[in-house]
Structure 1
Amino acid sequence: MSDIEESRVTALVDGPVRDVGTGAESVGGELFAILDSLPETRRWRAEILDGETITLSPTPIGLHQENVYLLDEQLRPCLPKGHRTEGNLEIRLPALERSVVPDLFVAPVAVLRTPEHSVPPDDVLLVAEVVSPGSTRADRTVKPGIYAQAQIPCFILVDPLEENTTVFSRPGKDEYKTVQKFGFGETFKIADPFEAQVDSSDFLAYE
C-alpha cells in the first residue's frame, strides 16, 4: 500500500518553522502550537512524525482495538508498582520535534495524573502500536526510530497484516539494538524495563 493510498491527512506549516527557544517554544514550536489549537474530535488522532507535518489518523477499527486490549490485559499484572497503562495521552518530544499518541504505553501514575493532554517521554517504560492498513509505514518504519531516539526502553509492534509481533529493546541513538520477531501464536518475553510474558495466540489477524 503506497503512502498516497494510506488513509492519512497532513497539515503543513506555512513557511519554514522558526527556532524560537526551548521547551514548548523550541524548534518546531509553531507546529506544536498548531497541534494544540486543533479542535477536539473523537474521529482523528493527531501526531507529528516528521517534524514538518501534523498527521491525522482516523480512529481505529474494532479488530485493532481488540488487539490493543489483549496485549494490555497481559501486561497489566506485570507492571511495576505505581505504574499503569495508558492509551489516549500524547507523548510530546520537543527535542525531536515529534509528537506521538501510542496505542498503549506504560508510565508512572503520578506522571499520568496531569492536567495536560501530553506527557514527556522521560518516565515512559514501554510503548506499543498495532498496525492498521493506513499506518503501515508510520508504525513499521518511522515510529521505531522515534521511540529509540526518545530512549524508551521497549517498543512492541503488533502487526495483524503480517501476523507477527516485533519486540524492540535496548535503544541506541537512532534505532533499537535488539529486534525480535514472533509469529502470531508464539509466546514471547520481555525482560527490561520489567519482566512480562505475552501469549500472542489470541491476537487477531486482519481478514
Structure 2
Amino acid sequence: MAVMTTERPQMELAQFREIAITAEREEVVLEFINGRIGVKPVPDGDHGEIIMWLLERCMAQRPDLRLYPEQGLQVASYRNGLAKPDGSLAPRRTFAGQGEWADPAGVLMVVEVTSYDADANRRDRLEKPRAYAETGIPVFLLVDRDEGSVTVHSEPSHGRYESVVTLAYGHVVQLPEPVNVTLETEELKDFSR
C-alpha cells in the first residue's frame, strides 16, 4: 500500500532553479522572508559607497546611534522571517550579545540599497517593506539605484507603512522621528547607473 503525503513542497522547481543558477554565477546571500527563500547578490562597490555615505551622515547627526551593516534580523512577527538589511540604525550596543539573527526591538530604521538583479523589485520594493512594517520598525529607507530615488517608509501600522515618500536623487530628504536625520542626496548620483 502506497503512503500518500499532503505536505506542500518547500518551494517550486522554478524557484529552486533560479536560486541554483544565481548561486552558480556569483556569491549570494540567502534570506527567508514571508515564508520564501530569497537570493540577494553580494553588494558591489557602489552599493558599499552608498552604505558608507549614509553611515557618515547618521554618525555626524546622531552620534548616539550606529548603522550596523548586514545585521541579521528576525522580521515579520507573525511569520518565521529572517532578513539581512543592508543597514540597521540602532542605539550603540543594541546587538551586543545577540547571535546572527537579532531581535529588532531597538532598531529605529532599516536600509536597503537595490541591487541590479531581477529579484530586486519583489524583494526590496514589496516584500521587505511589508516584513519591516509588520515587525514595527519605525522607518524603512530604500535607496533605489534603478529609479535614482530615495523612498522613506514610516508610520508602521497593521502590517504596512502609512507614510511613503519618494524623492529623486538631488533632493533633501528628512528622515522622520525617531531617526531625525537630514540627507542631501545629490552625491548618490555618482553611485548609480
Q: TM-score range by the shorter chain?
A: 0.7 to 0.9
Deviation of 1:77 (Å): 2.0
Identify the residue that residue 121 of structure 1 maps to in structure 2.
Answer: 104
Is 1:108 aligned to residue 86 of structure 2?
no
- Equivalent-residue separation in structure 1 for 2:98 and 2:133 (angstroms): 27
- Equivalent-residue separation in structure 2 for 1:158 and 1:69 (angstroms): 13
Identify the residue that residue 150 of structure 1 maps to in structure 2.
Answer: 135
- Equivalent-residue separation in structure 2 for 1:205 and 1:84 (angstroms): 22
- Equivalent-residue separation in structure 2 for 1:162 and 1:194 (angstroms): 24
Q: CA RMSD in A?
A: 2.0
Contact 2:49–2:191 at 8 Å: present in 1 too?
no
Is 1:43 aligned to residue 56 of structure 2?
no
- Number of equivalenced pairs: 167
5+ residue gaps in structure 2? 1-6, 10-25
| Percent identity between the two aligned chains | 27
Identify the residue that residue 62 of structure 1 maps to in structure 2.
Answer: 45
Contact 2:28–2:40 at 8 Å: present in 1 too?
yes
Deviation of 1:43 (Å): 3.1
| TM-score, structure 1 normalization | 0.74
Deviation of 1:16 (Å): 4.8
Identify the residue that residue 59 of structure 2 maps to in structure 1.
Answer: 76
* 3-state SS in 1 of match to 2:170: coil
Deviation of 1:115 (Å): 4.9
- Equivalent-residue separation in structure 2 for 1:154 and 1:133 (angstroms): 23
| TM-score, structure 2 normalization | 0.79
Contact 2:34–2:131 at 8 Å: present in 1 too?
no
Larger Rg: 2
* 3-state SS in 2 of match to 1:60: coil
The residue type paired with residue 108 of structure 1 is P
* 3-state SS in 2 of match to 1:68: helix
Contact 2:154–2:176 at 8 Å: present in 1 too?
no
Deviations 1:100-142 (A, max 9, x none): 1011111233322225112111111100101112222210111
Deviation of 1:55 (Å): 2.0
- Equivalent-residue separation in structure 1 for 2:98 and 2:175 (angstroms): 32
- The runs of 4+ residues in structure 1 deviating greater than 6 Å are none
Q: 2:153 aligns with which of 158, 161, 168?
A: 168
- Equivalent-residue separation in structure 2 for 1:186 and 1:176 (angstroms): 22
- Equivalent-residue separation in structure 1 for 2:69 and 2:115 (angstroms): 16
Identify the residue that residue 181 of structure 1 maps to in structure 2.
Answer: 166
Q: 1:97 to 1:115 in 2, by over 3 A?
A: closer
